Structure 1
């Protein structure tokens, strides 16, 4: 898949294209449905399947005080878009200058001149152009003027519209199982394994601590069943994806602890993961974070958490 970050990088012979437009944060099942239609239509027309998206999120530029936390990193978003079968992604830098373009200026520069669109596939609530003044009606008028077809897809979901906003709420509440139902996969956070305070090892449950600059929306404090993914190992390696009990929070039994994400790989005390890039997948929340009156009580509860995590992960693929 071509990964383009500026209109000047678009090959002159990329078109014709079938394209879609959106932020695609999380690349959830609603997004996947749109992307599948883009790929299907592109193949039928002998065209390239392309997604146009932005970095950073438009609100981070226009209204930073209300910009949402991102569900996935840009790298993860691009990987997920590639996995959807696209031929190219145009990741446009979102600037105030871009935001000031009229709907027609944006469509002509991006869809027509650069990407030679033969069809544009979007959701019915799509807005674009200065002050979001362009809508699906505007897009259809421009399609007639510039020679591309517009397909507006119905909302995709079980009983309501799936959205990145809902995903942020679910993950913020710790409902990672509910989030997975919308994502079509477990939510994950990625980072480099760093040395922590070694308390887990002292208690008999050594953990892989993610760096503070880990990417992905961190769920509510608590204990989770999940998996640890080692990026350096191939998927065929049995240690690429390992069951884990995960702790998120400040560990209230101890004082002056920064908020961390740490994962104990079940029944493993021999792993040396320092410096590795890993992802932690969250499958189900087991409990909130509690303060224990003694180290012995904490260790007993950790043992119960490990047993519960094992049972949960044994019943899920």
Structure 2
């Protein structure tokens, strides 16, 4: 990574579904238009593993696959932040300071339900104020919907656990996903063919 300013987005990006793709492509396009880097910040392990250790969790995409999918979207840089109890305890300003270690933040792009930091303290209004104080802009992207319903990693999981491979394909925009399908109390991990080989047309609804 370099010291050039970056257009940044932060998220788990579990599954790198079409909603994630819509956001990330905007980040890449914006950075290119400004002559800046595009930086995605993601976490390993998934924050749920640390925050809810008593609840079983299997990622839709393991880290190497997630990184491959993110790179294919044209991002300049990806920072995999190790999600530890220390990171979980950070406030929004402290976490942004960590991001700034990887180059100046010019803009932060987030979803409308995004919140950053301990106890989700970094709400949209808080981030607007923080950006004004630190000199970076905040862009809030509306939720991406298919059939009037927001696309989310939870929605992908619901399709997979219900055996609806075609729906999972629509949500993911690719041919397979590594996921936990309910096959008893513990579930079963396997690659699930979804029967789709090309990305769907991605557009906001």
Does the pair score TM above 0.5? yes
Out of 165, 173, 183, which is 1:184 matched to? 173
What is residue 150 of structure 1 aligned with on the other side? Answer: 138
What is residue 82 of structure 2 aligned with on the other side? Answer: 93
- Which structure is larger by alpha-carbon Rg, 1 or 2? 1
Residue 186 of structure 1 deviates from its aligned partner by 2.4
1:232-243 maps to which residues of 2 (within 5 A)? none
Out of 120, 126, 133, which is 2:108 matched to? 120
User: 2:20 and 2:56 mapped to 1: Cα distance?
Assistant: 20
Q: Give CA-to-partner distance per residue, 1:69-92, whole Å, 9 cap, x none.
A: 211111110000001110110001
Residue 146 of structure 1 deviates from its aligned partner by 0.8
Q: Give CA-to-partner distance per residue, 1:137-164, whole Å, 9 cap, x none.
A: 1111111011111100000112011000
Residue 280 of structure 1 deviates from its aligned partner by 6.0
Change (3 A) 1:149 1:260: closer
- The higher relative CO (CA closer than 8 Å, separation ≥ 6) is in 2
Q: Give CA-to-partner distance per residue, 1:183-238, whole Å, 9 cap, x none.
A: 112223xxxxxxxxxxxxxxxxxxxxxxxxxxx214456xxxxxxxxxxxxxxxxx
User: 2:140 and 2:134 mapped to 1: Cα distance?
Assistant: 17
| Structure 2 gap ranges (5+) | 198-205
How many residues align structurally? 193
CA contact (8 A) 2:116 2:122 kept: yes
Out of 62, 71, 79, which is 1:73 matched to? 62
Structure 1 residue matching 2:54: 3-state secondary structure: helix
Q: Give CA-to-partner distance per residue, 1:241-298, whole Å, 9 cap, x none.
A: xxxxxxxx9xxxxxxxxx786xxxxxxxxxxxxxxxxx662339xxxxxxxxxxxxxx
What is residue 127 of structure 2 aligned with on the other side? Answer: 139
The root-mean-square deviation of aligned C-alpha atoms, in Å, is 2.1
What is residue 195 of structure 2 aligned with on the other side? Answer: 283
User: 2:102 and 2:127 mapped to 1: Cα distance?
Assistant: 17
User: 2:103 and 2:88 mapped to 1: Cα distance?
Assistant: 19
Structure 2 residue matching 1:37: 3-state secondary structure: helix
CA contact (8 A) 2:180 2:189 kept: no
What is residue 179 of structure 2 aligned with on the other side? Answer: 217
Change (3 A) 1:81 1:149: same
1:52-63 maps to which residues of 2 (within 5 A)? 52-63=41-52
Per the normalisation by structure 2, the TM-score is 0.87
Q: Give CA-to-partner distance per residue, 1:112-146, whole Å, 9 cap, x none.
A: 34331111111011111111111111111111011
